[in-house]
Amino acid sequence: MKNYYKIILLLFIFLSSSCTMYRSYYDFYHHGTESIKTNSDFKYIARNVMGRAKTTYHLTSRRKQEIVEDGLIATAKTNLQSNMPLKDNQAYANLSIDVIKTEKGTAAPGGAIAVTTFTVEVVISADVIEYY
């Protein structure tokens, strides 16, 4: 009889627990070489230099939320500039801004997701060129 109760208890725990679901969205913006002076000679100094910024919002808990002071793109740009500071006659080229939004939650009826955590990450990448 004890085994019967254990099986029922395990079945109840299994059925009442839910699986964690993730859903991601991706956006990007690309600024190509239109800012490069085509009538001047230049060379590539670095390729694919990156800056990142990320924040997470906890929608169902009373946890302390992360504060974004200047905005994610501005923070990622500052991070990019600290990773590769520009010198005289240098410029960023082929600038890409990637925005990744990730929702975490539990399954809801109808194939929906009950979101509990929302994360936004911004990645800025660029090449560095130098004019002669």
Query: How are strands ordered across the β-sheet holding 113-131?
Result: 20-31, 90-107, 113-131, 42-58
Model confidence over 39-54: pLDDT tens digits? 678 888 999 999 999 9
pTM above 0.95, yes or no: no
- pLDDT value at 11 more than 70: no
CA atoms of 5 and 22, how far apart (whole Å)? 34
Whether the pLDDT of residue 86 is over 60: the answer is yes
pLDDT, tens digit, for every residue of 89-106?
888 888 899 999 999 888
Q: Which domain holds residue 91?
A: 19-131
- Assigned domain for 105 exists: yes
* Residue 1 is assigned to a structural domain of this protein: no
Mean pLDDT of the chain: 82
Instruction: Residue 127: count other Cβ atoms within 10 Å of its Cβ.
Output: 19
60 is a domain residue: yes
Rounded distance between C-alpha atoms, residue 54 and residue 75, angstroms? 9
Q: Give a yes or no: residue 67 inside a domain.
A: yes
Residue 91 lies in a domain: yes
Q: What is the pLDDT of residue 37?
A: 61
Q: How many domains does the chain have?
A: 1
The per-residue pLDDT for 81 is: 93
Burial of 66 (0-12, 13-18, 19+ CB in 10 A): exposed
Instruction: Let me know how long the chain is.
Output: 132
Q: What is the pLDDT of residue 9?
A: 72
Q: In which band, very low, low, confident or very high, does the pLDDT at 124 lie, cut at 50, 70 and 90?
A: very high
So what's the pLDDT on residue 13? 66
9 within some domain: no
Answer yes or no: is pLDDT of 71 > 60. yes
